[in-house]
């Protein structure tokens, strides 16, 4: 039996500070936890401070089965935090601390080796808000082998993105994941018009993308791979909060692509898992085994 491909979460590690206390988070870290929960081989590349939150974050990743050897420690920077506010529908807004450890992910020979071993890497825009981490993230993605999946989960957090970062990331990516709001911004940026499906097809052609996922919240998702499109109406659930739901979807989407699952199965599974995460508090609730299978 061949070894499972390593799936790398690349970018920010931070703590979501809710009104009732801090919870571990960061989109790439959430993604890595969900990959491991779904049976994948997950690894995190990021940076934390030499502080209690950094130590606790690394410990949580290890407990969730995520490799942490690619996480750097900074003496002079604090582990990242973000204040999270939830509205009456459970939708989250974020206020990020500046100058965090994940703003200073530094390139090294070790990261070069990790990049060339990766079967997939997932990155976004927030982790690229500083010049240092942006250079490292882009260098890591470009150092992966041609057959590796390079998943760009846009994950826009104003004001921490630019047109240049979005376009550079699209050029590097082989897979794209975005939501209903983000497709409008990307379509405008790329001067595209038409239906959502037509925009997805145009993006796939322009940036030579193998696959795209468009998530629609409780209304499900659209997946595109080659000439095939699959739509799923979503799984109804009582929303507690939406933190981490998109990351869980991306994790299932990534593993489904790596395992060459049918698009319908990938979409159904990813929507089911994301709905469960929405029904729980925090970004990385433990996924029940009966949900963590492709069917």
Token pair 């601390």 is found at 97
Question: Which whole number is the average pLDDT over 48-60?
Answer: 97
**pLDDT higher than 70, residue 1:** no
In a domain, 286, yes or no: no
In a domain, 43, yes or no: yes
Q: What is the distance between the alpha carbons of residues 58 and 134, in angstroms, rounded to a whole number?
A: 22
Residue length of the chain:
295
pLDDT value of residue 85: 81
Element (H, E) at 73: strand 66-74
> What's the maximum distance between 2 C-alpha atoms anywhere in the chain?
50
Which of 48-52, 104-108, 235-239 shows the lowest mean pLDDT across its residues?
A: 235-239
- Return the axis-axis angle of helices 196-207 and 180-189, rounded to nearest 10°: 60
Helix, strand, coil percent content, the chain, rounded in steps of 5: 40, 25, 35
Give backbone dihedrals phi and psi of 161, rounded to 5 degrees, phi first: -155, 160
In a domain, 216, yes or no: yes
Q: Which two tokens stand for residue 169?
A: 């990331």
In a domain, 292, yes or no: no
In a domain, 11, yes or no: yes
Residue scoring higher pLDDT (288 or 147): 147
- Please name which of 238, 245, 242 lies closest in space to residue 273, comparing C-alpha atoms: 245
Question: Which whole number is the average pLDDT over 67-71?
Answer: 98
pLDDT value of residue 84: 80
Q: Which two tokens stand for residue 20?
A: 């009732």
pLDDT digits (tens, 9 = 90+) for 23-36: 898 999 999 999 99
Cα torsion through 47, 275, 159, 174, rounded to 10: 70
Torsion sign over Cα 79, 29, 150, 224: negative
Q: What is the tally of structural domains in the chain?
A: 1
In a domain, 283, yes or no: no
pLDDT value of residue 103: 98
C-alpha pair distances (Å), 268 with each of 34, 67, 210, 239: 16, 28, 19, 18
Instruction: Give the domain CATH number at 246.
Output: 3.40.1190.20
Torsion sign over Cα 167, 177, 35, 57: positive
Q: What is the distance between the alpha carbons of residues 138 and 117, in angstroms, rounded to a whole number?
A: 16
Range of the domain at 270: 6-278
pLDDT digits (tens, 9 = 90+) for 174-197: 999 999 999 999 999 999 999 999
Q: What is the distance between the alpha carbons of residues 240 and 257, in angstroms, rounded to a whole number?
A: 29
In a domain, 81, yes or no: yes
**pLDDT higher than 80, residue 2:** no
In a domain, 284, yes or no: no
**pLDDT higher than 90, residue 245:** no
Q: Name the band, by pLDDT with cuts 50, 70 and 90, for residue 104.
A: very high
pLDDT digits (tens, 9 = 90+) for 105-147: 999 999 999 999 999 999 999 999 999 999 999 999 999 999 9
Those residues with Cβ within 8 angstroms of residue 124's Cβ, 6 or more apart along the chain or in another chain: 11, 27, 28, 152, 153, 154, 155, 169
Q: Which two tokens stand for residue 76?
A: 């002079």
């Amino acid at each position: 039996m061949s070894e499972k491909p390593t799936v790398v979460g690349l970018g920010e590690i931070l703590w979501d500070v809710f009104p009732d206390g801090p919870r571990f988070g960061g989109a790439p870290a959430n993604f890595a936890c969900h990959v491991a929960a779904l049976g994948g081989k997950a690894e995190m590349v990021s940076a934390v401070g030499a502080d209690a939150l950094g130590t606790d974050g690394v410990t949580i990743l290890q407990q969730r089965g995520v490799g942490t050897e690619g996480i750097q420690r900074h003496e002079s920077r604090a582990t990242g935090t973000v204040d999270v506010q939830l509205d009456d529908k459970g939708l989250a807004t974020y206020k990020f601390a500046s100058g965090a450890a994940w703003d200073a992910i530094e390139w090294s020979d070790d990261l070069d080796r990790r990049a060339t071993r990766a079967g997939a890497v997932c990155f976004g825009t927030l982790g690229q808000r500083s010049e240092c981490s942006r250079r490292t993230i882009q260098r890591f993605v470009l150092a992966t082998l041609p057959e590796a999946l390079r998943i760009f989960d846009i994950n826009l957090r104003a004001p921490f993105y630019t047109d240049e970062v979005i376009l550079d990331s699209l050029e590097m990516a082989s897979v794209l994941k975005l939501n209903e709001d983000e497709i409008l911004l990307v379509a405008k940026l790329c001067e595209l018009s038409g239906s959502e499906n037509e925009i997805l097809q145009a993006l796939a052609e322009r940036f030579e993308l193998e696959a795209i996922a468009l998530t629609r919240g409780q209304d499900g998702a659209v997946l595109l791979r080659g000439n095939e499109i699959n739509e799923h109406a979503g799984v109804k659930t009582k929303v507690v909060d939406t933190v981490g739901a998109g990351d869980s979807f991306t994790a299932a989407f990534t593993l489904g692509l790596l395992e060459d699952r049918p698009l319908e199965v990938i979409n159904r599974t990813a929507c089911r898992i994301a709905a469960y995460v929405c029904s729980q508090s925090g970004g990385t609730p433990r996924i029940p085994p009966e949900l963590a299978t492709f069917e």
